[in-house]
A = this chain, B = another copy of it.
Amino acid sequence: MCSESSPGRTARPGRPRSPEADAAILLATRQALVELGWSKLTMGDVATRAGVAKTTLYRRWAGKNELVVDAVAVLFDELELPDLGSLAADVEGVVLQFASILERPETKTALMAVVAESTRDDALRGRIRSAIVDRQKRLVLIGRERAQVRGELPYEDDAIASARHADLIFDVVAGAVVHRALVSAEPVDREWARDFTLLICTGLQATA
């Protein structure tokens, strides 16, 4: 009676979707972002680059927004934070990790654009959150936990206050890097990361 076969729960009949096409489309999207930028990227162009029909794109993604989010999201998979031994070193590490992705031309032009779109599209915002933002936030949570183990930061009893505090730190770190890289359009190099780390760890008054 059990009709389900081996590969997971997707035992649908019919021709399966080509994973090669998926990969080709996402790669073509990133290339198009580099060459054309967000505003001049078109679905038809991506389809041509990927060597697939335009209808194939629309079978998998609702539109440009969703496609670009998925195309850029894979770049955030590489986010990893080695234990650098101290809170300050870890903060600097997180900053440089963020920067290494944010300074790519694909992400530069795409990230702000999809976030702008997400202000009027809740589903898109959720997609961005799970595909990109949460992967970034993970690094902050890891760094905090390490600092707590080291004794550099205290454990917090109140769970919701603890979560709120983590959100605050994340907005400060990610926000500062994004603003530096995209609004000020200045490099997030080791020097800036060092200055930022000093500011965030010891505060404004102690920085001077």
* A contacts, CB < 8 Å to B: 37-39, 87, 91, 105, 108-113, 115-120, 125, 128, 133, 152-154, 156, 164-165, 167-172, 174-180, 182-186, 192, 195-196, 199-208
Min distance, Cβ A144 to any Cβ of chain B, angstroms: 9
Please name all residues of chain B whose beta carbon is closer than 8 Å to the beta carbon of A177 when the two chains form the complex. 175
A184 and B132 CA atoms in complex are apart in Å by: 12
- Count of this chain's copies in the oligomeric assembly: 2
Please name all residues of chain B whose beta carbon is closer than 8 Å to the beta carbon of A152 when the two chains form the complex.
Answer: 205
Besides A164-B195, A171-B176, A172-B200, 10 other CB < 8 A contacts?
A38-B116, A39-B120, A154-B208, A170-B184, A172-B179, A172-B196, A174-B175, A175-B176, A175-B178, A175-B179
Flag if A199 contacts B172 (CB, 8 Å): yes
- Across-interface contacts of A192 in B (CB, < 8 A): 168
CB-based contact B117/A39 at 8 Å: yes
A195: which of B116, B117, B168, B170 is its contact (CB, 8 Å)? B168
Partner pick for A115 among B118, B175, B182, B205, CB 8 A cutoff: B182
Describe A's contact surface by its main secondary structure.
helix
**Pairwise interchain contact A199-B120, C-beta atoms closer than 8 A:** no
B115 engages A109 (CB within 8 Å): no
The minimal Cβ–Cβ distance linking A172 to chain B, given in whole angstroms, is 4
Q: Is the CB of A169 within 8 A of B204?
A: yes
List B contacts of A204 (CB < 8 A): 87, 91, 153, 169, 200-201
The reply to whether A174 and B182 form a contact with Cβ atoms under 8 Å apart is: no
Contact A183 B115 (CB under 8 A): yes
A37 proximity list for chain B (CB < 8 A): 117, 119-120
